[in-house]
Structure 1
């Protein structure tokens, strides 16, 4: 599931910047089924042996390069090459800043008052805003109060309540409490791939977060099987009460790579992975 410019519900009219009442909208794709169940499908036809050889060689080269980079240690600092220079040379290079050490209501908080801090905040807030918890009426108010600027929280909460109404929950297979049927698991996980501050000032910032994610319902008979998505979220943030908070956000599709040659996992494997693998606190 991703927040997009097409889908169910209406959180307000669309503005010139592509946002919907400051919230975006939510869409759930329902892929066509072609013979048999949607889980446990056969692997695609094998590629030629030459492609496999090229792939293996490429992986080995990347591993060697990674090891060499890791072994460089502090040589750059000794040569007068600062960490800031390295960050500016590659948009997704880590800053070296430690992640936040606190959470409020399970959501990272207390981000540094810096460009790296606001990028970290945007990455973590993107995870929360496209999560399964945001669909739960009992959990949503706490998320909104933690993520959004206090001046916008009430308005955003009302908008999200309208978007994620009973009709929407029915459509994605959840009950009125946002819970999946017994034996099934609703999945909505977002993983930031990189961040970019397109505008930064002392009290305001705009950050783009390139994301991938998985969303859908487990269960062999599910009409909404778990699938993947790629999208970019743009968040406008404000420094207030000692932390970065969201003013508004929007989303667009991509950039998306070519799908890999992966065997489709069973519904049970997906459910087990969701239960056993926890998420991260993201730092720039």
Structure 2
């Protein structure tokens, strides 16, 4: 599900030709002697690697280039991001790191399946946006996610899929970039991948994936980072892989069994 600053929109792609999703030739077994040699070789290499790592020293602490580095959650000792009202993370640090955390978590929320449900949407608007923008944005969301729009993606007026089907909209932030920062305001780009669509045997909108970048304008208000406005554009997207599509049952089961994450820098 892709969401812009002004309207909601969805993409539809018909499923490709069927086939055995678990097909393919069975790999030939190796001889027992060759397997034993391989296992011994791997163990020897592993022991050598551990010994080398334990030696320490060298110039391993030096970092080259200006590329962004992955950062552990709360590496500076800032408090972890707790869950706020409606289960949405809140209580972000009043610094650049906190702004990045807020932007990543809000991107997940704003392109979720919950945003399509009127009751949950009202909670999201109250939790995510600055107070003076809540009324106008609530009206715009309601118009964008009208009964007619929801019907086009196979959902009823309450944002629910038909019996036996599961609507999927999950967003995974890949990285964040602060493009402007002050103690009162911040602008953060969040590069995301996502999956969206309906898992069902008869759906015309099967679960597919997309890549997009959300730009969130944040404001420090009421002791937390809140969204003042946001926009979305496509990409950057990699060349599609050759992964075999899962069945509707597998996708629905994955959504039910795998929970999401809270993101922090």
Matched, 1:28 2:10: yes
Tell whether the 8 Å contact from 2:168 to 2:255 is kept in structure 1 after alignment. yes
| TM-score computed with the length of structure 2 as normaliser | 0.80
Following the alignment from structure 1 to structure 2, what is the Cα–Cα distance between the partners of residues 152 and 230? 27
Following the alignment from structure 1 to structure 2, what is the Cα–Cα distance between the partners of residues 128 and 251? 14
Matched, 1:237 2:214: no
Equivalence for 2:39: none
2:99 to 114, 118, 135: 118
Tell whether the 8 Å contact from 1:99 to 1:281 is kept in structure 2 after alignment. no
Equivalence for 1:3: 3
| TM-score computed with the length of structure 1 as normaliser | 0.75
C-alpha change, 1:162 and 1:119, in structure 2 (3 Å) is same
Following the alignment from structure 1 to structure 2, what is the Cα–Cα distance between the partners of residues 156 and 125? 15
C-alpha offsets along residues 139-188 of structure 1, whole Å, 9 cap, x if unaligned? 11110010000110111000000000000110000011111111100000
Gaps of 5+ in 2: 25-45
Equivalence for 1:104: 85
Tell whether the 8 Å contact from 1:92 to 1:194 is kept in structure 2 after alignment. no
Equivalence for 2:184: 203
Tell whether the 8 Å contact from 1:42 to 1:264 is kept in structure 2 after alignment. no
C-alpha offsets along residues 19-62 of structure 1, whole Å, 9 cap, x if unaligned? xxxx342221111345459xx76889xxxxxxxxxxxxxxxxxx
1:164 to 131, 145, 163: 145
1:93 to 64, 67, 70: 70
Equivalence for 2:232: 251
Following the alignment from structure 1 to structure 2, what is the Cα–Cα distance between the partners of residues 218 and 265? 10
Following the alignment from structure 1 to structure 2, what is the Cα–Cα distance between the partners of residues 33 and 278? 26
Gaps of 5+ in 1: 5-22, 45-63
SS at match of 2:169: strand
Matched, 1:184 2:161: no
* Superposed counterparts of 1:48-87, under 5 Å: none
Tell whether the 8 Å contact from 1:184 to 1:219 is kept in structure 2 after alignment. yes
In the alignment of these two chains, the number of paired residues is 235
C-alpha change, 1:92 and 1:226, in structure 2 (3 Å) is farther
Tell whether the 8 Å contact from 1:43 to 1:263 is kept in structure 2 after alignment. no
Following the alignment from structure 2 to structure 1, what is the Cα–Cα distance between the partners of residues 224 and 97? 13
SS at match of 1:207: strand
C-alpha offsets along residues 55-108 of structure 1, whole Å, 9 cap, x if unaligned? xxxxxxxxx9xx99xx69x989x97x7xxxx7x943252165153133221000
Following the alignment from structure 1 to structure 2, what is the Cα–Cα distance between the partners of residues 96 and 107? 17
* Superposed counterparts of 1:8-23, under 5 Å: 23=5
Q: CA RMSD in A?
A: 2.9
